[in-house]
Amino acid sequence: MIEVQGVTFSYPGTTVPALENISLIIKPGEFLAITGPNGSGKSTLARLLNGLLRPGEGRVLVDGLDTGDEASLVDIRRRVGMVFQDPDNQLVAATVEDDVAFGLENLGLPPAEIRQRVAAALEVVELANLRTRPPHRLSGGQKQRLALAGVLAMEPRYLVLDEATAMLDPVAREEILQKVLELRREKGLAVILITHLMEEAALAERVLVLKAGQILLAGPPAEVMQQEEKLAAAGLKVPVTVALGKGLRQAGLKLPANLVTVEEMARALWKLASRK
Ligand SMILES: Nc1ncnc2c1ncn2[C@@H]1O[C@H](COP(=O)(O)OP(=O)(O)O)[C@@H](O)[C@H]1O
Ligand SMILES: [Mg+2]
C-alpha cells in the first residue's frame, strides 16, 4: 500500500505549492489513473511516490517505508517502478538488452535469471527483435517501450507510468497498456497511469483528477466522468462515449448514466436495440 498523507510540496524558489494537502491511498494491485490539465501536479505527485521528491509537509509511506527516510530509498525505488514521458533520461547502456539488464545487474541477480527477465520484459514491449540495437538508434516510441521494459524487469509492486506512452501511436499505446494490465492480473502489479487522455483514464478502477495542485475529483470513472462541468472548468473534456451517452439520453433513449468505455456503451446500445 502507498499512503500519501497530507502532502504539500513546493519547488525551491516558487511561492505557490505544486501540490497542496494531498491525501491518497494506493492499494496493492490497484489500477489507478491520475489525470488533470498541464501543470496540475501529476508529475510532481508521481515523483513523490518513489522518493525522487520528498514532501515539504506530510509524508509518503510505501508498504510502511517512509520516503523521507534516506535508508529506505533503495527498497522504495525497487517497489515503485517509474517510467517517464521523456525516455532519454532513463536509457543508459550500449544495446537494448544491456539497457534492460542494467538495473538487474545492480541487484546482483544470477546471470540466468537476468537473461530470463530481460527476455520476458522485451517480449512484453515487443522489442525482442531489436535487442542488439543501440538505444539511441530507436524511435521515440521504441525508447519509451525500452524504458518500460527496464522497469518491468525489476518486477516492481507498483508501476507508475507518467505519460509514458505519449510518443506511441494509439494502437501501440493500447497494446502496451493491455500487456501491462495482463501483468497486473498475473502478478498483482499495481498500475498508476498518469495521462491527460480521459479515454485512457476511464479504463482504470479509480480516477483521481488534479487541478492546480489539489484533488478536484476522485472515484470510479463512471462517477468522475459525470462531473462534466467541474472537468470542463479544469480544461478537461469527458470521453466521447460519455458525451454521446448524455446526448442520447437527452434525445429520449433509456440509457444508464454510468457508461464510460466503448464496450459498455456498445453493450448498452445493443441491449436497447435487441429489445425491439
Ligand atoms: N523543477 C521545477 N521547478 C519549479 N517548478 C516546477 C518544476 N517542475 C514543475 N514545476 C511546477 O509545478 C507545477 C506542477 O507541475 P507538474 O507536476 O509537472 O504538472 P503536470 O505533470 O500535471 O503537468 C507547475 O506549476 C509547474 O510549473
Ligand atoms: Mg507531467
Query: How high is the pLDDT of residue 276?
Result: 64
Same domain, 101 and 188: yes
Q: Of 51-55, 176-180, 241-245, where does the model show the most confidence? A: 51-55
Short-list 23, 25, 7, 30, CA closest to 157: 30
Whether 173 and 259 map to the same domain: the answer is no
The residue whose CB lies within 8 Å of the most ligand 1 atoms, and thus the one to mutate among 22, 44, 197, is 44
Question: For residue 165, what is the domain's CATH number?
Answer: 3.40.50.300
15-30 residue pLDDT tens: 999 999 999 999 999 9
What H or E segment, with its residue span, contains residue 66? strand 65-66
State whether 122 and 205 are in the same domain: yes
Q: Are residues 233 and 250 in the same domain?
A: no
| 255 alpha carbon – ligand 2 mean position (Å) | 35
Choice from 15, 43, 84, 161 to test ligand 1 binding pocket (greatest atom count within 8 A of CB): 43
Number of domains making up the chain: 2
Specify the pLDDT at position 190: 98
HSE on the CB side for 16, CA within 13 Å? 7
Q: Are residues 22 and 89 in the same domain?
A: yes
Do 79 and 158 contact (CB within 8 A), yes or no? yes
Q: How confident is the model at residue 107 (pLDDT cuts 50, 70, 90)?
A: confident
Do 163 and 102 belong together in one domain? yes
3-state SS assignment for residue 126: coil
Q: What is the pLDDT of residues 140-197, one digit of tens each?
A: 889 999 999 999 999 999 999 999 888 888 888 888 899 899 999 999 999 999 999 9
Out of 43-57, 217-231, 262-276, least confident range:
262-276
Instruction: Say if residue 32 is in the same domain as residue 149.
Output: yes
Residue range(s) defining the domain that contains residue 192: 2-238
Of 195, 258, 196, nearest in space to 224 by CA: 258
Residue nearest to atom 24 of ligand 1 (CA): 39
Is residue 89 within 6 Å of ligand 1 at its C-beta? no
What distances in angstroms separate CA 44 from CA 29, 40, 102, 154, one per listed residue?
A: 22, 9, 26, 23
Tell me: do 222 and 249 sit in the same domain. no
Grid coordinates given for 211: 487541478
